[in-house]
Amino acid sequence: MVFQTAFQNVPGSTMAAKVTKVRCPQCGGEALWGPENKYRPFCSERCKLIDLGAWASETYRVPVQEETAEPSADFSTSGKPPLSK
């Protein structure tokens, strides 16, 4: 058995504010991935709005899933349970 101790080898890793950057799916630029970026995975509000616009007007389509919520068997209308004496 081999133990990977990668996490222990990180120097000075006491909750270091690590900035993760992802690629903005809209413009391809760098987008900050963190709680301070509320538009993630987009880089900015603009890119997010553009993408939302694409959703609303273009090819993206979310199939509406109809939930057939059948109520569980209704015994109240199917007769009374036999009374035991």
| Footprint of Zn ion (CB under 5 A) | 24, 26-27, 29, 43, 47
Rounded CA-CA distance 55/18 in Å is 32
CB of 32 to Zn ion, least distance (A): 11
CB of 21 to Zn ion, least distance (A): 12
By C-beta, is 22 or 27 nearer to Zn ion?
27
Total Cβ atoms within 10 A of residue 24? 20
By C-beta, is 10 or 60 nearer to Zn ion?
60
Rounded CA-CA distance 53/59 in Å is 11
CB of 67 to Zn ion, least distance (A): 35
By C-beta, is 13 or 29 nearer to Zn ion?
29
Q: Are 41 and 31 in contact (CB under 8 A)?
A: yes
Question: One-letter amino acid identity for 42?
Answer: F
